[in-house]
Amino acid sequence: MYFTVRKKLQYENMSHFKRLPEFEKEFLKLSKKYPSLADDLKKLERLITLNPVGLGTNFVTIHHSDEVKIVKTRLACKSLRNRSIRIIYAYHQNILTFVHIEIYFKGDKENEDRARIADYLKNVQRAR
């Protein structure tokens, strides 16, 4: 009998996911409409733990600095028959932390909230 054990990467145990209060409110509202959203988000979190800025065309880096990268990604939602929900998250390279900033359905909202992203970046600058 053979067993395969996946070796965990060094940063895999150390990464943390946080959510802004605005994200939490949007997530709860959308998860009522789309029941699979929580599981879909967990899958995305596992993916970005391995590749923090993502792979392929579904990930776009909106902001890049030495400390933080803001990434916009498409999340395939099973409840939407794999049509996508957009998620904006920040990846803090030095502390290996992810912060979910915004979540929205592309059919309801055309683009991300640039003011919220700017406010988040201002708060990150102040915290230094």
Q: Cβ of 102: how many Cβ atoms within 10 Å?
A: 20
Domain spans of the chain, in order of start: 14-127
Distances in whole angstroms, Cα of residue 106 to Cα of each of 77, 83, 110? 12, 9, 6
- pLDDT digit string, tens, across residues 7-18: 444 444 446 899
* pTM of the full structure: 0.85
CATH number of 14-127: 3.30.2310.20
Number of neighbouring beta carbons within 10 Å of residue 59 = 16
Question: Cβ–Cβ contacts within 10 Å for residue 88, how many?
Answer: 25
pLDDT one-digit tens code per residue, 19-73: 999 999 999 999 999 999 999 999 999 999 989 998 888 999 999 998 899 999 9
Distance CA 26, CA 3 (A): 42
What residue type is 94 in one-letter code?
A: N
Mean pLDDT on 94-114: 90
